[in-house]
Amino acid sequence: MRKSVLKYGLYSLLTASVLFLLAFLIGEGMSYSVQEVIGYFTMLASLVFVFFGIRHYRDHVNDGKVSFGKALWLGFLISLFAGLGFGIVDYIYTTVINPDFAQEYQTTMIANMEATLPAEEFETRKAALEEQMKDYGGSTFMAFIMFISVAMIGLVISIISALILQRK
């Protein structure tokens, strides 16, 4: 099991890292909502290795059998690699490549809210966004949130993959 986790986990980590950086290069100048869609696509693309890792383990390591629990655990471990890749690249991006990202994001979101919301609602949402950005702290916390987000999406994909691939 260890070899399958390492092999497909590293594939997932590398895919996450490369696609994240690629998205950064091609996404420059795009709106944050488009970049968010690209980000979720990148997460899903890197997490496809969860399915392939479980299937490889079942078919080539474990004589065509894998229980739901074992498949779930295997998939989740592979997901942690993808989360690690995203977390590391997110940290590098927000500390080295674009250390002003949080401020730029906040400024853009406030401008969008001001243009689309009534004055009273704008003030409420602006205060909430400013509080949220303050609570997030720095790059380390944002990278951790990215890691957790990818791991949780990976958990869902692991559950689905385990249901599909289990064989006793």
Q: Is the pLDDT of residue 142 over 90?
A: no
Taking only the tens place, the pLDDT of each residue in 56-80 is: 999 999 999 999 999 999 999 999 9
* pTM (2 d.p.): 0.83
Mind giving me the DSSP string for 98-159? Answer: -TTHHHHHHHHHHHHHHHHS-HHHHHHHHHHHHHHHHHH-SHHHHHHHHHHHHHHHHHHHHH
Condensed to tens digits (0 to 9), the pLDDT of residues 8-38 reads: 999 999 998 888 888 877 777 777 778 888 8
Burial class (CB in 10 A: 0-12, 13-18, 19+), 159: middle
Residue type, 111: A
- The predicted pLDDT at position 129 comes to 83
Region 81-100: what's the mean pLDDT?
A: 90
Residue closest to 50 by CA, chosen among 89, 12, 2 = 12
In the predicted model, is pLDDT for residue 51 greater than 90? Answer: yes
CA 3 from centroid of its chain's CA atoms:
23
CA angle, residues 25, 92, 11, in degrees to nearest 5: 75
Q: Dump pLDDT digits (tens) for 103-114.
A: 888 888 888 888
Count of domains for the chain: 1
- Residue 130 confidence (pLDDT) above 90: no
Q: What is the mean pLDDT of the chain?
A: 89
Alpha carbon distance 127, 130 (integer Å): 5
Q: Which domain holds residue 15?
A: 2-165
